[in-house]
Amino acid sequence: MTTESTPNTTNEVGETTHFGYKQVATEQKASMVADVFDSVAAKYDLMNDLMSMGIHRVWKRYTIDCSGVRSGQRVLDLAGGTGDLAAKFSRLVGEKGQVILADINREMLKVGRDKLRDKGIVGNVDYVQANAEALPFPDNHFDLITIAFGLRNVTDKDKALASMFRVLKPGGRLLVLEFSKPTQEWLSKVYDAYSFHVLPKMGQLVANDADSYQYLAESIRMHPDQETLKDMMVKAGFDNAEYFNLTGGIVALHRGFKF
């Protein structure tokens, strides 16, 4: 199973990058990813529960546990989608803290905002439509940045990591929760069979959209593996970069600090 990221390449028609297993013009990828999430936004939470059999909640809880967030701190939940992490961070930082739920996709941001407001979470959560590659925040601004299941959809991951490093305070930490490479060959085979044969059918049945879930399965395979992503974080300036494999490496939580 291949999880190495395919680098951008240049040919007669300009730069290209991967969109799942396809090569597309670099400038087109963001809009193509946006189309995917426009399509899946309404059923996103339901599909997360079905696809992971609810285990995504355990992965997110582990992320919260590793965050070290305290009352009064400022948190950026990047690619925050429907707000699962932002809701928990809102309670942890309290009235004197701030959580910004940011997502490049307007539909996902709308779903997240409505969901949190329905839960009565108001006051210390703000919503910003933002591109991870060019974050619209001051330098040294956040105590914590999280990005859960979003980095693999970013066109230029190195640029995004550099942008996150810029807006993180000295002493702050970055947590990247993302699908990764299973550590056992038998698990890779089972995971591949599930991803490419079950998920698209589930997407068609529940969300009436097999193609988007085919892309999501492919995007996982094209995402950098654990060691590669760790090296990318170090290159961006993060100290003490490390990762923790979850569910046999199907998911990994990467953590890095800015000193």
Structure tokens that stand for 8 in this block? 């951008």
* Neighbouring residues of 174: CB distance < 8 A, sequence distance ≥ 6: 144, 145, 146, 147, 161, 164, 165, 168, 233, 238, 254, 255, 256, 257, 258
Of 168, 173, 90, nearest in space to 127 by CA: 90
Cβ(177)–Cβ(152) below 8 Å: no
State yes or no: 10 annotated in a binding site.
no
Distance of CA 115 to the CA centre of its chain: 19
Phi first, then psi, for residue 160 (nearest 5°) are -65, -45
State yes or no: 118 annotated in a binding site.
no
State yes or no: 82 annotated in a binding site.
yes
Say how many C-beta atoms besides its own lie within 10 A of residue 56's C-beta.
19
State yes or no: 34 annotated in a binding site.
no
CA of 235: how far to CAs of 165, 215, 232, 252, in Å?
Answer: 11, 28, 5, 19
Distance of CA 141 to the CA centre of its chain: 20
> Residues annotated as binding site for S-adenosyl-L-methionine?
82, 103, 131-132
> Residues annotated as binding site?
82, 103, 131-132
